[in-house]
Structure 1
Amino acid sequence: MPMGWLGRKDPLQIVAFQSYGTPQRLYIRGRALEDESIDLARKGFVPLLTNSWKRFETDEIRHAPLRIRLPDDRVFELTTDMEGYYLLDQQAQALDSLTNEEGWVHFEMSYREGQLSRPVLGENRFPGSMLIPAATARFGVISDIDDTILQTGVTSYLKWRVIVNTLFKRAESRIPLSGAAELYHTLHKGTDGQAANPIFYVSHSPWNLYRYLELFLRRNQFPKGPILLRSMASFWRRKREDVPHKQHEIVNILESYPKLSFVLIGDSGEKDADIYLDIARRYPGRIRAIYLRTVRHPGRMKRVRNLIAHEKTVPVLLAEKSREILSHVRELGLLK
Structure 2
Amino acid sequence: MSAGTEHRARRAVLRAARWGTRRAGSGSAQPPSPTRRLHVAARLEDGFDRALAAVLERRGWTVRVETFAGYGAPGWVRVLARTLLAPPSTRSSDLPGAGGEAQVDARPAPSVRGWRSFATAQVAGARVTVRVGSLEHEVATDRGGYLDVVLDSDLPPGWHHVEITTQDGATSRAPVLVVDPEARVGLVSDIDDTVMVTRLPRPLVAAWNVLVRHESAREPVPGMADLYAELRRRNPGMPVVYLSTGAWNAAPAIARFLHRYGYPAGPLLLTDWGPTNTGWFRSGRAHKVGQLRRLFHELPDVRWVLVGDDGQRDPEIYAGAATHHPDHVRAILLRQLTFSEHVLAHGLPAPTPEARTAERAAVREGMPVVQGADGYVLRRAVGPDGLRST
- TM-score, normalization: structure 2? 0.72
| Match status 1:4 vs 2:45 | no
- How does 1:158-237 map onto structure 2 within 5 Å? 158-190=202-234, 195-233=236-274, 237=281
Match of 2:286 in 1: 244
Q: Which runs of 5+ in 1 are unaligned?
A: 115-123
Q: 2:351 aligns with which of 294, 301, 307?
A: 301
Question: Structure 1 pair 302/81, CA: closer, same or farther in 2 (3 Å)?
Answer: closer
Match of 2:296 in 1: 254
Q: 2:126 aligns with which of 46, 60, 64?
A: 64
Deviation at 1:216, TM superposition (A): 1.2
Match of 2:162 in 1: 107
For 1:318, the aligned partner's letter is: Q
Work out the CA distance in 2 between the residues paired with 1:306 and 1:280: 14
Mean CA deviation greater in 270-279 or 313-322: 313-322
Work out the CA distance in 2 between the residues paired with 1:153 and 1:68: 38
Work out the CA distance in 2 between the residues paired with 1:76 and 1:93: 10
For 1:128, the aligned partner's letter is: A
Deviation at 1:264, TM superposition (A): 0.2
Work out the CA distance in 1 between the residues paired with 2:267 and 2:243: 8
Work out the CA distance in 2 between the residues paired with 1:27 and 1:198: 14
Work out the CA distance in 2 between the residues paired with 1:176 and 1:280: 27
Deviation at 1:35, TM superposition (A): 2.8
Match of 2:333 in 1: 291
Q: In 2, are the aligned partners of 1:136 and 1:197 still within 8 Å (CA)?
A: no
Moved over 6 A (4+): none
Work out the CA distance in 1 between the residues paired with 2:292 and 2:186: 11
More helix by share: 2
Work out the CA distance in 1 between the residues paired with 2:75 and 2:383: 33
- How does 1:273-288 map onto structure 2 within 5 Å? 273-288=315-330
For 1:166, the aligned partner's letter is: V
Match of 1:119 in 2: none
Work out the CA distance in 1 between the residues paired with 2:153 and 2:204: 48
Deviation at 1:199, TM superposition (A): 0.4
Secondary structure of the 1:288 match is: strand
Work out the CA distance in 1 between the residues paired with 2:231 and 2:184: 10
- TM-score, normalization: structure 1? 0.82
Q: 1:31 aligns with which of 65, 82, 86?
A: 82
Secondary structure of the 2:308 match is: strand
Q: In 2, are the aligned partners of 1:24 and 1:94 still within 8 Å (CA)?
A: yes
Question: Structure 1 pair 18/257, CA: closer, same or farther in 2 (3 Å)?
Answer: same
Deviation at 1:32, TM superposition (A): 0.8
Work out the CA distance in 1 between the residues paired with 2:274 and 2:290: 16
Secondary structure of the 2:53 match is: coil
For 1:129, the aligned partner's letter is: P
Secondary structure of the 2:255 match is: helix
Work out the CA distance in 2 between the residues paired with 1:71 and 1:238: 35
Question: Structure 1 pair 246/180, CA: closer, same or farther in 2 (3 Å)?
Answer: same
Secondary structure of the 1:233 match is: coil
| Match status 1:81 vs 2:130 | no
Work out the CA distance in 1 between the residues paired with 2:111 and 2:243: 27
Q: In 2, are the aligned partners of 1:153 and 1:159 still within 8 Å (CA)?
A: no
For 1:317, the aligned partner's letter is: V
Work out the CA distance in 1 between the residues paired with 2:153 and 2:207: 44
Q: In 2, are the aligned partners of 1:56 and 1:208 still within 8 Å (CA)?
A: yes
Higher relative contact order (CA 8 A, sep 6+): 2
| CA deviation map 1:11-41 (0-9, x unaligned) | 3211111111121222111101123415654
Q: 2:155 aligns with which of 95, 99, 105?
A: 95
Deviation at 1:256, TM superposition (A): 0.6
For 1:233, the aligned partner's letter is: G
For 2:120, the aligned partner's letter is: T
For 2:177, the aligned partner's letter is: L
Work out the CA distance in 2 between the residues paired with 1:226 and 1:319: 25
Q: Which runs of 5+ in 2 are unaligned?
A: 1-47, 95-109, 343-347
Question: Structure 1 pair 4/89, CA: closer, same or farther in 2 (3 Å)?
Answer: farther
Work out the CA distance in 1 between the residues paired with 2:233 and 2:155: 23
Deviation at 1:161, TM superposition (A): 2.0
Q: In 2, are the aligned partners of 1:4 and 1:62 still within 8 Å (CA)?
A: no
Match of 1:140 in 2: 186
